[in-house]
Amino acid sequence: MKRSTLVLLIAAALAVAGVALWLVRGHPAESRSKPAQAAAAPRPTLTVTVAPPAHAELNVTLAANGNIAAWQEAVIGSESNGLRLGEVRVNVGDVVKKGQVLATFIGDTVRADVAQARASLAEARANAADAAGNAERARTLQATGALSQQQINQYQTSAQTAQARVEAAEAVLAAQQVRGRNTQVLAPDDGVISARTATVGGVVAAGSELFRLIRQGRLEWRAEVTSAELARIAVGTPATVTSASGAQVQGKVRSVAPTVDPQTRNALVYVDIPNVLQSTAVKAGMFAQGEFQLGRTSALTVPQAAIVPRDGFNHLMLLQPDQRVAQLRVQTGRRVGDRVEITTALPADAKVVVQGAGFLNDGDLVRVAP
């Protein structure tokens, strides 16, 4: 009986072990497959927004640098010699009109010279009248033979000499009157006084500079353009000039230099800047940047947020049909507001990731927000 009982116990133990093995390999494995599959399913990396590229009309511009200078600067000097300045009526920055008195000299000496020239002219005219009378009387006596022909010629020569002295005295008087008018320094044109060296009480020589005048208050931007880009610019092309302070003014191309600098291979383009008297942000002598407006062309643009800069290049994240993203290196062009031109060809049905593009890598699975 002990032996038979032991055999039964061993058989029961083997049966229990077989059932346990079947449970482990069979039905429980199937019950565990669903959670394992659920755990193995990929999850989206990020929720993003997408947008298709858009076509837009953008300006074609050409950037350049250059200096701002006066259109024409007149040097106003003294025509009088050795006179003392008695009054200076304008200063730097004053707006003047053509013919306006800028400064005056003390003209006592000139007035005395004018009076002396008038007296000399009166004397010359008196002598000329006397000589003319003598010549006339000599001609009347020519037929009587009372005077020789030589004496008659002498009287006529004296009359002509006296008349020449009258004309010389008139010329001296005119010169002294010109000196009298030159005691006033007049503006040669409308404009703005840009420099002043005149000082009250100073004795200046003829030709000395007293003032500098920006004619008509006009400034110009002298932009340097490479010879390769020079053909794209024509007279009348609009330009936007940006000063060092960030202020912008509009202008137009007045002329293009006929020659190119052989050292730099650049040419100067002269852009007129109007209404400079109303703008305090642009002054002669400034260095300024600017752009020439060459026209408008159609361009493919994407939002600025869609551009992903990596490793020195710009990329876009394109949404694929399987909700994954593909990284594409692109070339960018013009920028207007929050839109950037893409010069690289994109697929016709491209969808660009906008929000969240900078946090994605190539092949990431994403969820698209509505």
Dump pLDDT digits (tens) for 350-367. Answer: 889 998 888 888 888 888
The residue segments making up the domain with residue 157 are: 107-182
Do 113 and 159 fall within a single domain? yes
Average pLDDT over residues 330-337: 86
pLDDT at 28: 47
Checking if the pLDDT of 140 tops 80, the result is no
Look up tokens 């020659």; give the residue.
259
Checking if the pLDDT of 297 tops 70, the result is yes
More confident residue, 268 or 35: 268
Q: Picking from 87-101, 124-138, 342-356, which range would have the lowest pLDDT averaged per residue? A: 124-138
Q: Picking from 86-100, 136-150, 176-190, which range would have the lowest pLDDT averaged per residue? A: 136-150
Average pLDDT over residues 331-351: 87
**Looking at the domain assignment, is residue 233 inside a domain?**
yes
Query: With contact defined as beta carbons under 8 Å apart, do 192 and 277 qualify?
Result: yes
Q: State what percent of residues in the chain have pLDDT above 70.
A: 87
pLDDT at 247: 83
Number of domains in the chain: 4
**Looking at the domain assignment, is residue 4 inside a domain?**
no
pLDDT at 204: 84
> Is residue 337 classed as helix, strand or coil in its secondary structure?
coil
Q: How far apart are CA 18 and CA 77, in angstroms?
A: 124
Band of pLDDT at residue 64, cut at 50, 70 and 90: very high
Give the residue from 263, 279, 295 where a domain finishes.
295
Query: With contact defined as beta carbons under 8 Å apart, do 224 and 65 qualify?
Result: yes
More confident residue, 148 or 254: 254
Average pLDDT over residues 70-97: 87
Q: State what percent of residues in the chain have pLDDT above 90.
A: 18
Q: Which residues contact 1 (CB under 8 A, 6 or more apart)?
A: none
Look up tokens 């609009």; give the residue.
238
**Looking at the domain assignment, is residue 168 inside a domain?**
yes
Band of pLDDT at residue 279, cut at 50, 70 and 90: low
What's the CA dihedral at 16, 17, 22, 23 to 10 degrees? 70
pLDDT at 18: 67
Do 163 and 262 fall within a single domain? no
Do 332 and 349 fall within a single domain? yes
Per-position b or e across 196-215, b if 16+ CB within 10 A of its CB:
bebeeeeebeeeeebbbbbb
pLDDT at 136: 80
Q: What CATH number is attached to the domain comprising 190? A: 2.40.50.100
Q: Which residues contact 161 (CB under 8 A, 6 or more apart)?
A: 131
**Looking at the domain assignment, is residue 124 inside a domain?**
yes
Average pLDDT over residues 314-334: 89
End-to-end Cα spacing for the chain: 80
Q: What is the mean pLDDT of the chain?
A: 83
Distances in Å between the Cα of 125 and the Cα atoms of 24, 117, 118, 366 are 149, 12, 11, 112
Checking if the pLDDT of 349 tops 70, the result is yes
Do 287 and 316 fall within a single domain? no
